[in-house]
Amino acid sequence: MNTEVLRTGSKPLPRQRSAVVYKLSRLATSFSMHALVVASLAILLLPIVWMVSTSFKPLADVFSYPPQFIPRNPTVEAYTTQFTGLLGRYFLNSVIVGLLSAVLATGAGALAAYGLSRYRLPGRNAILMFFMASLAFPIPLLMISMYLMFVQLGLLNSYIGLVIGHTVITLPVCVWLLKNFFDQLPVEVEEAAFVDGASRAYTLFRIVLPMARPALGASAIFVFVTSWNELLFGLTFVSSTSMRPLPAGISMSFLTEFEGAWSEMMALSVMVSLPIFLLFTVFQRTFMSGVTAGAVKG
Amino acid sequence: MGFSPRQAPVFLAAIFAPSILLVGLFIVYPVVNSVGLAFTDASPLSSGRSFVGFENFVYLLEDGEFWEVLWNTVFIVGAATIIATAGGYGLATLLISGIRGAAIFRAAIFQVWVVPWIVIAILWGWLFSQDYGLVNYLLMQVGLIEAPVKWMFDQNASQWAIISGYAWRAIPFIMVICLAALQGIPSELVESAAIDGASFLQRQRYVILPLMQNIILVAALLQAVRFFQEMTMIFVLTQGGPVNATMVLSLYTYKTAFEDWDFGLASAIGTIWLILLMAFALFYVRVALRRNLA
């Protein structure tokens, strides 16, 4: 943009020298900008590179000095030794709890968000503010009473207790995200449907929600990722090892038995990160196609 | 805009029922009930509970440990938020300045945001390992330290190890928000400032920052709230040690409740936390945001 500004400026430029100096200084700025970005990228990605690198080393090379960034004797040994029944069980638990929470929080959130977006409810803003504020509520404070409730309801040591916990800590975000999306959908579509005699439920489930697929997807992913990360409920509401989700399971068993086998711990870390990484990579495409498809149809 | 609720009371009741049930039973009731428990000596280990008034609160406020935990929390959350915000904003400014491959850089940096907390906890244990850790190796290579730092056994060092993990994980989030906001600034504004002879720093200070201030404040607040809740790293790496140096409010409440099984005292800690949060939020909305809008 600066080039244009200078060229169209009213003052005639002393052309030869200053143009060269200008170009050089621009080049220097551009170079230092690129260098800065590459440097910060290197620092930010170093932990991830180091994790992946360590996971492919035999244990003997893990402690080599100076450290090897590219494994000299690459091996997948650290991965294959991890395939125990217990880790598989943790993965399964996390997937089940994550999926159920995603469905429940997104479903309940979408219905409430639609109502908040479309109907002139008294105290609508207060409700939204409450949802936003509830994000900051101390989770351990909630857990104390939830624990007492779950003891009485017999929900300790079950998926249901975990799903409820993960649902309520994500529901506020789902409502906000989906309400913003519904606010942008033209209300005329629904009005036309009502004129044609469609019921409110039919309009919501067959017309509005299908249009909201990308937002529903984003909401579900958010819940799943939060659930995948969550440690406290998994530690507290579950007492048997086989019911624990990944974070709680790992911190209760793998880390307590851990004896400096860093390649194995890094292989475990890579495996725990991978589903989320894939989810985001795949999701970006679905999300974009969903948005554009909706725009074309609308 | 919007439909009148009178047109469809049954439909509205039906679509709000699930979330009212969930929020009422599992957010509103637990908060109210726990605040009530703060005035008792409740514990799942004993069957009865009796009302003790403000005893739990008095105990906490007179206990040096509680103030220590409070200060640690503010320090760790505050430092991590400031570093993440500055870093995220700086990166966003760099990426929007028209460098080549910005989209690739953005996608690469975003990968950090995807790393689960439990993985960061384990990874940080390895990076900050005393004898073979990469951080000690690099710091010694650069000459910043002479002997390996005992990261997890030194009070100050352990706090910075935790802060670095928090900040690292949050930088992409702040960056993405700032990028979106920076893209929304009309380019004419920045260009006309440039024509008038404003330098890069002057444009930042007088044109871009005032426009970005509110968004940066909101993003930082959201991040700080999340840091307050987060404790996976600390739970795995230090359990609050050494000598409570990394004991934060969330872990302290959790341990009091589910390791000491003192629900009354834990509820009191949680209640104070809740009050502090509300006071902070009020202050934030009133002072920080209003002043900027005016």
Question: Nearest C-alpha of chain A: how many angstroms from B30?
Answer: 5
Contact of A218 with chain B, judged by CB distance below 8 Å, is answered with no
Q: What is the CATH number of the domain that holds B276?
A: 1.10.3720.10
For B28-68, write each residue's pLDDT tens digit: 999 999 999 999 988 888 877 888 889 899 999 998 899 99
Report domain extents, chain A: 2-78, 82-297
Asked if the structure places residue B101 within a domain, the reply is: yes
* Structural domains counted in chain B: 1
Closest CB from B5, B29, B253 relative to A140: B253
- Banded model confidence at residue A183, pLDDT cuts 50, 70, 90: confident
Q: What is the DSSP letter of B241?
A: -
Instruction: Answer whether residue A4 shows pLDDT above 70.
Output: no
Q: Both tokens of residue A44?
A: 């930010």
* In a domain? residue B41: no
In chain B, the residue whose alpha carbon lies closest to the alpha carbon of A52 is: B123
Average pLDDT along chain A: 84
B136 has a chain A CB within 8 A of its CB: no
* The pLDDT of residue A5: 44
Residue A7: which pLDDT band, with cuts at 50, 70 and 90?
Answer: very low
Confidence at residue A147, expressed as pLDDT on a 0 to 100 scale: 94
Q: Residue A120: list chain B partners with CB under 8 A.
A: 2-5
Share of chain B above pLDDT 90, in %: 47
Give the tens place of pLDDT for each residue, A237-279. 998 888 999 999 998 887 777 777 888 899 999 999 999 988 8
Residue A40, CA distances (Å) to A35, B100, B160, B250 in order: 9, 15, 19, 31
What CA–CA distance (Å, rounded) separates A281 from A82? Answer: 25
**Mean pLDDT taken over chain B:** 88
Helix (H) or strand (E) holding A180: helix A159-184
A contacts of B8 (beta carbons < 8 Å): 119, 200
Min Cα distance B99 → chain A (Å) is 7
Name the pLDDT band for A64 (thresholds 50, 70, 90): confident
Smallest CA–CA distance, residue A274 to chain B, in Å, is 9
Q: By the CB < 8 Å criterion, does B283 face chain A?
A: no
Whether B252 has a pLDDT exceeding 90, the answer reads yes
Scanning A23-42 for CB atoms below 8 A from B yields: 30, 33-34, 36-37, 40-41
CB-CB neighbours of A203 under 10 Å: 19
Q: Which of A90-104, A232-246, B199-213 has the highest mean pLDDT?
A: A90-104
pLDDT at B106: 82
- Provide the pLDDT for residue A289: 44
Query: Which residue does chain A place closest to B271, by CA atoms?
Result: A141
**Over the stretch B280-294, which tens digit does the pLDDT of each residue have?**
878 777 776 666 555
Structural contact between residues A112 and A175, judged by C-beta atoms closer than 8 angstroms: yes
Does the structure show a pLDDT above 80 at A139?
yes
Is A265 close to B274, i.e. CB distance below 8 A?
A: no
Question: pLDDT-based confidence at A297, cuts 50/70/90?
Answer: very low
**Best mutation target, A144, A163, A188, A224, to test chain B (most B CBs within 10 A):** A144
| Domain A82-297 falls under CATH 1.10.3720.10 | yes
pLDDT at B217: 87
Chain B interface includes A107 (CB < 8 A): yes
The per-residue pLDDT for range B82-119, each reduced to its tens digit, is 999 999 999 998 888 877 888 888 888 888 888 999 99
Q: What is the pLDDT of residue B89?
A: 93
* Contact criterion met (CB < 8 Å) for A44 and B257: no
CA–CA dist B30, A137 (Å, integer): 11
For residues A218, A222, A224, A229, the Cα torsion angle rounded to the nearest 10 degrees is 160
pLDDT score for B294: 52
Give the contacts of B101 (CB within 8 A, at least 6 positions apart). none
**Share above pLDDT 70 across residues of chain A, in percent, rounded to a whole number:** 89
Q: Which residues pair with B40 in a beta bridge?
A: B51
| Element housing B222 (H / E) | helix B209-229
Closest in A5, A40, A251 to B118, CB measured: A251
Q: How large is the ipTM? A: 0.89
Which residue did the predictor score with more confidence, B31 or B180?
B31
Contact present, B270 and A144 (Cβ < 8 Å): yes
Contact A129/B at CB under 8 A: no
* pLDDT confidence of residue B1: 58
Interface test with B, best of A6, A61, A145, A164 (most B CBs within 10 A): A145
Q: Which two tokens stand for residue B104?
A: 């690739």
B183 has pLDDT over 90: no
* pLDDT at residue number B289: 63
Q: Please state the rounded mean pLDDT for residues B237-262.
A: 92
**Residues A90, A244: contact at Cβ < 8 Å?**
yes
Q: Does A156 touch chain B (CB under 8 A)?
A: no
Residue B289 lies in a domain: yes
SS3 A155: coil
Q: Is the dihedral of CA A211, A214, A220, A223 positive or negative?
A: negative
Highest mean pLDDT among A9-23, A155-169, B136-150, B185-199: A155-169
> Span B150-161, mean pLDDT?
91
Q: Which of B19, B33, B171 sits opposite A112 (nearest CB)?
A: B19
Nearest residue in chain A measured CA to CA from B134: A67
The percentage of chain A sitting over the pLDDT mark of 90, rounded to a whole number, equals: 39
Q: Is residue B49 in some structural domain?
A: no
Long-range contacts formed by B151-160: CB under 8 A, 24+ apart: B152/B125, B152/B128, B152/B237, B152/B238, B152/B241, B152/B242, B153/B242, B154/B242, B155/B242, B155/B243, B155/B245, B156/B245, B158/B237, B158/B238, B158/B241, B158/B242, B158/B245, B158/B246, B159/B72, B159/B75, B159/B76, B159/B245, B159/B246
Cβ <8 Å between B11 and A200:
yes
Structural domain containing residue B121? 63-293
- The per-residue pLDDT for A254 is 77
Q: What is the pLDDT of residue A99?
A: 97
Contact (Cβ atoms closer than 8 angstroms) between residue A149 and residue B22:
no
Specify the pLDDT at position B127. Answer: 93
